[in-house]
Structure 1
Amino acid sequence: MMNIEDLTTPYCRDEDLSCSVMELKYRGNASALFILPDEGRMQQVEAGLQPETPRKWKDSLRPRMIDDLYVPKFSISTDYSLEIDFHSWASGKSSLQWLPCLRSQGPRT
């Protein structure tokens, strides 16, 4: 569990869905919206979510001072599969124009 003290962060209250929403900045322009349902209201929040709800929340966020915040530690990761036929690519039979730095080197002999 991570404890953050004396944090000023964007926050809003959604009375219609009985939840609070806060935004935690990460690195660069990355951030996460944390949806905090009132006790016993998780199903109401889930049922009430619409495609436009996150935009509504984002537009409603205002800075708020939070004395103590406990957030579970978590991580997000992904894998990419880059299956490239380099032989076809090097011989000009493939259109991988997005790799100009490799394309200019040509095949090694």
Structure 2
Amino acid sequence: RIDIHNGEVSIIDFKSSNVREKKSADKRTKKSLQLALYALAYQKIFGKIPERVELHFLESGLRGVATLTEENLCQTVEKIKEASAGIRARSYQAKPGYQACRLLTCAYQQVCPYVFLGKR
């Protein structure tokens, strides 16, 4: 969702995951590839970076807020290039996040080659 308040643009996404601390909510927002992609698309269309991105966590009611920079968006472009190169090369190596494997919250553990290699 895109909100404009007093001329400032916020790109907002909603999450059902349970985040209980504001610091954690802000950190997840800053690291969100999904929000960075939305901000990149906004920049391409409107010629400017949105003033902020936000994650609204529905369970706790917390809002994570971050400001993205040109450098953040350049890093996002690099991630897109890396992913697309991997797809073209048919390289689908698992790159699980720390919490998904360590805390056993990933829904794909029964079929994940990363788990079978004992790297979690």
Larger Rg: 1
Structure with bigger RCO (C-alpha 8 Å, 6+ apart): 1
Structure with bigger strand share is: 1
- TM-score bucket (shorter structure): under 0.3
TM value normalised by structure 2: 0.22
